[in-house]
Amino acid sequence: MLLPIALNAQTPRAETKATPDAVASNPAREDPALARLFENRVAPLLRQHCLKCHGQEESLRGGLSLVSREDVLRGGDSGPAVDLKTPGESLLLEAVHYDSFEMPPDGKLKDEEIAIFERWVRSGLPWTPGAERSSRRAEDNGMQERLEAAAHHWAYQPIANSVPPFVDSDRISTPIDAFILRRLHDKGLSLAPEADKATLLRRVYYSVTGLPPSPSDVRTFLADDAPDAWERVVDRLLASPQYGEHWARHWLDLVRFAETNSYERDAAKPFAWRYRDYVIRSFNSDKPYDQFIREQLAGDEIDPRSDDALIATGFYRLGIWDDEPVDREQALYDQLDDIVATTGQVFLGINIGCARCHEHKIDPIPQEDYYRFLAFFNGITPYGIRDAKSVERFSVRPLPSASHKGTTSKDDRVLCVTEVGSRPRPTHVLIRGSAAARGKPVTPGFPQILGGADATLTPAAEGAASCGRRRILADWIASPDNPLTARVIVNRIWQYHFGKGLVRTPSDFGVSSPPPTHPELLDYLAGELIAGGWRLKRIHRMILLSSVYRASSSIDPKAQSIDPSNELFGRFPSRRLEAESIRDSILAVRGDLNLQMGGPSVFTKMPAAVLAGQSRPGSGWGKSPVDQQVRRTIYIHVKRSLVVPIVAAFDGADTDTSCPSRFVSTQPTQALLMLNSDFLQESSRRFAADLRRCVGDNEEALVCAGLWRVLQRPPSRKEVERGLAFLRRMVQQHGVGEARALQYYCLLLLNLNEFVYIH
Amino acid sequence: MARRLRKRRREFCGRTRRAFLWEAGMGLGGVALASMLYRDGYARSPRDPEASPRTANPLAPKPPHFAPRARQVIFLYMYGGPSHIDTFDYKPAMKGMDGKTVRVKTFGRAGRRNQGRIVETPFRFRRYGESGQWVSEIFPHLATCVDDIAFVKSMTADSPIHGSAMLQMNSGRILSGSPALGSWVNYGLGSENENLPGFVVMLDPRGGPISGAKNWSSGYMPASYQATVLRSRGEPILNLAPPAGMTDAVQRDLLGTLREYNEQHARAHGGDRELAARIASYELAYQMQMSAPEAVDLSQETAATHKLYGTDNPRCRVFARQCLLARRLVERGVRFVQLYSGGAHNDDNWDAHTDIVKNHTLHAGETDQPIAALLKDLKQRGMLDETLVIWGGEFGRQPTAEYAKGTGRDHNAYGFTMWLAGGGIRGGVSYGATDELGSAAVENRCHVKQIHATILHLLGLDPNRLSFPFQGLDQKLVGVEPVEPIRAIMHESHA
């Protein structure tokens, strides 16, 4: 008898009719072993590899349905998929063997899987109706359940109107303290006492500017007993241009900033430095964060006459790019995937990229959500096609200001996004992420966990440069109603000040992420950010003026036993400086750091041994004048396949994907670099020479000044004595000349733990 | 078991490391310095990098998932893509077809083609060994080792373009940004010798491969897992040698004084493990300065060994030195050594686009004797059993000519040959096959992922379990879908 399958039974589709005889003789009804073959072996393969294209009436490929025995026998546009009279010659078997059709299109089945199809077809196509779908429904249900469960996940709830709790303490400096002290007191703990002034000054300099205070900065602050001394330092640092440089570096980690494409040629991205400078400018001018988001995602659509708005869209062009891909169509989707994944992680703290090939395994993100999200970007042109000229054609435009002025200088150009025009490419769900296997068509929409609304599209005018979809996405992300955006950024600010966020996984607020240690504080900060017009300096200030930020890092035995990992922020967590700060500090200490800002990137001297690893040693690495080589690290050219050794050694960000937090590794090769590298040799020599220039030849004065520079505090008598004894031993026991002895002492100073750790 | 060299080197400031740790520990108020103690087997390091990411020594030895067959790996990387049908994949059916145009699907740097002019292999093939493996005349020495080798003649890769194909062979993905195989192995097992890097790469003096350091990068893993480039002449490791003119006594004084400052500082911040770990890292750096030059000191080898490898043979002496170094490194507990045969571009590596005879004669000639010597030397020292040796490039080459004239072949990722030896591999085996022209793998097709799975499996790591959390996923070298190792080439006891 015929068992119609609900999904598609009513729809007449193909002209060919299966013979009643063949249909009648479903061997699964006679032979339980054959029924099991279908249920246990064939059905899972159908579900996994076939039914996404050949399972749903509305989107059948080639008119072929594989959801019932009848449908298989009836076939599609090319005729019956299986002919039981000559089963060995069935189209279906040819297709899985890749003989005529090549199915599944995203990769040939394994030999043993093909053998299962062979056996199934040759046994007369046994079929247990319904079995082909049963666990598919279960999968759907799983996602549905996860979506329902996730509706209660903290991160997807509206930002709560959070009020600082009452705490009876004289340590309440900003509302932040109330939230932190409340939790500490609840656990019977208290906040560590305030750190000493020199420690604090060093901490806040690195936190805000990434640079050490000079000895005179320290002396001034130590002598300043005014009650607002701290506040004035904080405000001065937040207003300094070095703030923007340091915080831009954090942002560049997130947006996988690099100035080359990786792969064989690893060619330079033209004008990528303008994006870097844009970020620095944005932080320094305290640009509202919502505007910062809008500019990067859709600056070209929002304000096409603004240089900065166009430069900001360089965001889309920073990723890796294979100029010689195996499959151009697939490569386009790889580029879009990089954009989808980066956008999701950086702005929203969601790992939507995990749903490219299948439903997200953990978070409630159906595959369709991924492609609906991708559809916002599906008007973007590829970065280029093969050569540099095509990159210029697709990704480089004149600066708006230059075009208005009518200047035609080749230098007045910008790396930016462009679109194919007013009509984007159609977007389909790609089965298993394969560009060749198009499934259901989709339109732009927001993830289901965040409401799942369709984007309201207004068709762009004919001849428009872009379809306008990115602006809709940007507005949705940069909205005070988006529960993730503000939370994610305030958490990052907290993370960069304290070494770890209130949410420990700063780019993943999904259901498997650890919940915030202080959810009310997180919401308070997010609310304050929005209320304050999305200005980040206000949040910095609130953090930096808090007693929590000013607490000592000393470890209290009681706190250690109750809160060993300092989840409650009862003390300030010590941390090692980032690679950039280490290099910048060495330059600052030796006295020749060049604080010039902005412009095209510079090239530092690269050891020949490192260049030797290139297939064309030295290619893509230039030479900058000496005074340019001592600029801050953020201005060094970021070449994906050739990383500056000190940056690589001290855990600089990997630039191929978004880097939400850096590793802190400690390894002997770092010590070798700090002791033996040309850079450190040169640095200790200059350090010594500069000391002598500044303080003369008195050994004690030299030692004292050297210690001041690296420790940024008054050295103890013992520390000075130890230095003097070292110099004496060098000269008297080891026969080293005085100049060389001081150089060795300076090398030692640059290796001190205290120089590279903040407490 | 191999003779392992674990000689105590000169100690840091006259103290043993353990004494140093003890004192450092006491100096820090008796707090257990877990991150360092792991190395000495006092404590187990968690494999989970999240467990204590800031303090655990990332290279501490870790137990495998199950009993391993191999302890270390030497990957002989034939950069550029050696032609399988001119080396090990004999195609008698092609005899007499030279110059004939045939219909065959190919995909190389010149794009997709449906027909081409056959270039019959210009090299003579013979069967060798008790197992009767086919080897081309360009490998006379290696031909004597075939009973220890398993040839996988049905390899496939996803890309016929050097850049992406190399990334796949080295990191599992054709996209830039994933950790190298050697990084995965060190992540999974740690290093057995803290005085030497756990993952070492040696390059061809003609230049690095395409994409350079991306091929040995640790990608999204910490930098601790990236390879150290080791040179066979001069300063073996970057920044290893103290500055010119700095005597050992001066350096030790400097390090001793540095430690005094650092310990005083650490006492003021009692209990901070990171500070203690950084103090220890200077002692380890000093040890490395002592150990690495010894490890690369080939003058310790006998004349017979030198002769075996061919370090005096002008044709192959560079690769001979590197193979001999590779043996010395694995002998000293280095986990993963990768050697590049070929560098830079075009005929400086195996990328024979114009003249297969000239190109392959050159590169086979440079490597044949050293590789055979390496296998024999490992075997005679009883080390082959636990050392997995892998030979291959990022893809093979096409049976047809690339240009209208000449014998050059374009890239072929549809079918090529790799071989493995030692470390649990069954010798004298050929597994899988290409079609009769060698244009594509047809029998027991193997993907690059399966080679990776096989390597991990033999090292005692489950390729479908070894994972690193990144961007919300447990990332695996072999990807999301489960991958089977190639059991048919393993000793039965281990398959």
Q: Which residues of B touch A729 (CB under 8 A)?
A: 253
Residue B207 and residue A614: Cβ atoms within 8 Å? yes
Task: Give contacts of A 534-563 with B, CB under 8 A.
Answer: 553-555, 560
**Could you tell me if A325 lies within 8 Å of chain B, comparing CB atoms?**
yes
Q: What is the mean pLDDT of residues A263-291?
A: 97
> What pLDDT does residue A24 have?
55
Q: Which residues of B touch A609 (CB under 8 A)?
A: 229, 231, 235, 238
Which residue would you say has higher pLDDT here, A86 or A137? A86
pTM for the complete prediction? 0.84
- Give the residue from A611, A667, A733, A759 with the most B CB atoms within 10 Å of its CB, the best one to mutate: A667
> What pLDDT does residue A127 have?
86
Indicate the range of A92-101, A378-387, A575-584, B367-376 predicted with least confidence.
A92-101
Is the pLDDT reported for residue B205 higher than 70? yes
| Closest Cβ–Cβ partner in B163, B231, B279 for A324 | B163
| Closest Cβ–Cβ partner in B249, B345, B472 for A615 | B345
Q: What is the mean pLDDT of residues B198-226?
A: 94
- Give the residue from B13, B446, B471, B476 with the most A CB atoms within 10 Å of its CB, the best one to mutate: B471
**Could you tell me if A685 lies within 8 Å of chain B, comparing CB atoms?**
no
Does the predicted interface ipTM exceed a cut of 0.90? no
Residue B220 and residue A734: Cβ atoms within 8 Å? no
- Residue pair A394/A386 in contact (Cβ under 8 Å)? The answer is no
Residue B53 and residue A663: Cβ atoms within 8 Å? yes
Picking from A685, A715, A710, the residue whose alpha carbon sits closest to that of residue A700 is A715
Q: What percent of chain A has pLDDT over 90?
A: 73
Where does the pLDDT of residue B139 fall: very low under 50, low under 70, confident under 90, or very high at 90 and above? very high
Distance from CA of A613 to the nearest CA of B (A): 4
Task: Give contacts of A 574-593 with B, CB under 8 A.
Answer: 574, 576
> What pLDDT does residue B363 have?
98
> What pLDDT does residue A623 have?
97
> What pLDDT does residue A3 have?
34
Instruction: Count other Cβ atoms within 10 Å, centred on residue B226.
Output: 25
Residue A353 and residue B240: Cβ atoms within 8 Å? no
> What pLDDT does residue B28 have?
29
Cα(A486)–Cα(B51) distance, integer angstroms? 29
> What pLDDT does residue A156 have?
95
> What pLDDT does residue A53 have?
82
* pLDDT, tens only, A148-195: 888 889 999 999 999 999 999 999 999 999 999 999 999 999 999 999
- Residue pair B148/B379 in contact (Cβ under 8 Å)? The answer is yes
Where does the pLDDT of residue B57 fall: very low under 50, low under 70, confident under 90, or very high at 90 and above? low
**Could you tell me if A698 lies within 8 Å of chain B, comparing CB atoms?**
no
- Residue pair B196/B291 in contact (Cβ under 8 Å)? The answer is yes
Q: What percent of chain B has pLDDT over 70?
A: 88
**Could you tell me if A656 lies within 8 Å of chain B, comparing CB atoms?**
yes
Q: Which residues of A touch B176 (CB under 8 A)?
A: 262-263, 320, 322, 640, 656
**Could you tell me if A504 lies within 8 Å of chain B, comparing CB atoms?**
no
**Could you tell me if A669 lies within 8 Å of chain B, comparing CB atoms?**
yes
Is the pLDDT reported for residue B117 higher than 70? yes
Residue A730 and residue B163: Cβ atoms within 8 Å? no
Residue B208 and residue A664: Cβ atoms within 8 Å? no
Is the pLDDT reported for residue B477 higher than 80? yes
> What pLDDT does residue B267 have?
92
> What pLDDT does residue B33 have?
30
Q: What is the mean pLDDT of residues A123-140?
A: 66
Distance from CA of B408 to the nearest CA of A (A): 21
Residue B177 and residue A654: Cβ atoms within 8 Å? yes
Residue A613 and residue B271: Cβ atoms within 8 Å? no
Is the pLDDT reported for residue A18 higher than 70? no
> What pLDDT does residue B494 have?
60
Q: Which residues of A touch B284 (CB under 8 A)?
A: 667-668, 671
**Could you tell me if A453 lies within 8 Å of chain B, comparing CB atoms?**
no
**Mean per-residue pLDDT over chain A, rounded:** 91
> What pLDDT does residue B16 have?
36
Distance from CA of A263 to the nearest CA of B (A): 5
Residue A689 tokens, joined: 């020479």
b/e for A232-271, b at 16 or more Cβ within 10 A? ebbeebbebebbbbbbbbbbbbbbbbbbbbbbbbbbbbbb
Chain B: residue nearest A671 by CA?
B282
> What pLDDT does residue A8 have?
33
What is the count of residue pairs from A and B with beta carbons less than 8 Å apart?
245
Indicate the range of A58-67, A96-105, A137-146, B247-256 predicted with least confidence.
A137-146
* pLDDT, tens only, B330-376: 999 999 999 999 999 999 999 999 999 999 999 999 999 999 999 99
Is the pLDDT reported for residue A275 higher than 80? yes
| Closest Cβ–Cβ partner in A264, A512, A555 for B163 | A264
Is the pLDDT reported for residue A14 higher than 70? no
Which residue would you say has higher pLDDT here, B250 or A85? B250
Chain A: residue nearest B209 by CA?
A615
Residue ranges per domain, chain B? 17-44+238-289, 72-236+296-489
**Mean per-residue pLDDT over chain B, rounded:** 88
Cα(A639)–Cα(A39) distance, integer angstroms? 53
**Could you tell me if A264 lies within 8 Å of chain B, comparing CB atoms?**
yes
Residue A667 and residue B224: Cβ atoms within 8 Å? yes
* pLDDT, tens only, A684-734: 999 999 999 999 999 999 999 999 999 999 999 999 999 999 999 999 999
Residue A654 and residue B219: Cβ atoms within 8 Å? yes
Q: Which residues of A touch B243 (CB under 8 A)?
A: 676, 681
* pLDDT, tens only, A590-636: 999 999 999 999 999 999 999 999 999 999 999 999 999 999 999 99
| Closest Cβ–Cβ partner in A111, A263, A752 for B262 | A752
Where does the pLDDT of residue A544 fall: very low under 50, low under 70, confident under 90, or very high at 90 and above? very high
Is the pLDDT reported for residue B26 higher than 70? no
Distance from CA of A445 to the nearest CA of B (A): 22
Distance from CA of A528 to the nearest CA of B (A): 28
Q: Which residues of A touch B266 (CB under 8 A)?
A: 753
Q: Which residues of A touch B58 (CB under 8 A)?
A: 665, 667
- Give the residue from A203, A358, A669 with the most B CB atoms within 10 Å of its CB, the best one to mutate: A669
> What pLDDT does residue A31 have?
79
Where does the pLDDT of residue B9 fall: very low under 50, low under 70, confident under 90, or very high at 90 and above? very low
> What pLDDT does residue B286 have?
95
**Could you tell me if A330 lies within 8 Å of chain B, comparing CB atoms?**
no
Q: Which residues of B touch A263 (CB under 8 A)?
A: 163-164, 167, 176, 211, 214
> What pLDDT does residue A15 have?
35
> What pLDDT does residue A186 have?
95
Where does the pLDDT of residue A37 fall: very low under 50, low under 70, confident under 90, or very high at 90 and above? confident
Q: Which residues of A touch B343 (CB under 8 A)?
A: 615
CATH of B72-236+296-489, one of 3.40.720.10, 3.90.700.10, 3.40.50.970, 3.40.50.720: 3.40.720.10
Q: Which residues of A touch B170 (CB under 8 A)?
A: none
Distance from CA of B224 to the nearest CA of A (A): 7
> What pLDDT does residue A361 have?
75
Is the pLDDT reported for residue B54 higher than 70? no
Q: What is the mean pLDDT of residues A237-261?
A: 98
Q: Which residues of A touch B269 (CB under 8 A)?
A: 553-555, 574, 759
> What pLDDT does residue A140 have?
58
